A and B are shown apart, each in its own frame.
Chain A
Amino acid sequence: MKITIRDAGEAKVVEVEGDVDLGTSPDLRRALFESLLNSPKLAVNLAAIRYIDSSGIATLIEVLKDSQLRNKEFVLFALSPAVQQVFRLTHVIRIFQVFQTEEEALGSV
Chain B
Amino acid sequence: MSKPSAARCLHLKIVMPSNPLYLPVVRGAISPLAAAMGWGESDCRAITLALDEALANVIRHAYHNRADGLIELECHESADGLEITLLDKGDAPDKSKICARALACDEPGGRGTHIIKDVMDTVSYQATPAGNRFVATKRLRKAT
Interface of A is mostly: helix
User: Residue among B20, B21, B111 with the most chain A CB within 10 A?
Assistant: B111
B115 within 8 A of A: yes
B24 within 8 A of A: yes
Give the contacting residue for B21; candidates A23, A54, A89; CB below 8 A. Answer: A23
Q: Do A53 and B118 have beta carbons less than 8 Å apart?
A: no
Please name the residue on chain B nearest to A52 by beta carbon.
Answer: B49
Contacting A at CB under 8 A, from B75-106, are: 103-104, 106
Give the contacting residue for B111; candidates A19, A21, A54, A65; CB below 8 A. Answer: A54
Q: Do A59 and B108 have beta carbons less than 8 Å apart?
A: yes
Please name the residue on chain A nearest to B21 by beta carbon.
Answer: A23
Q: Do B119 and A85 have beta carbons less than 8 Å apart?
A: no
Interchain nearest-CB distance for A21 vs B (Å): 5
Number of A residues near B (Cβ < 8 Å) is 24
B109 partner residues in chain A, CB cutoff 8 A: 54, 58
A92 partner residues in chain B, CB cutoff 8 A: 111
User: Residue among B23, B42, B108, B109 with the most chain A CB within 10 A?
Assistant: B108
Q: Mark B26-62, 1 if CB is under 8 A from A, else 0.
A: 0100000000000000100110110011001001100
A24 partner residues in chain B, CB cutoff 8 A: 20
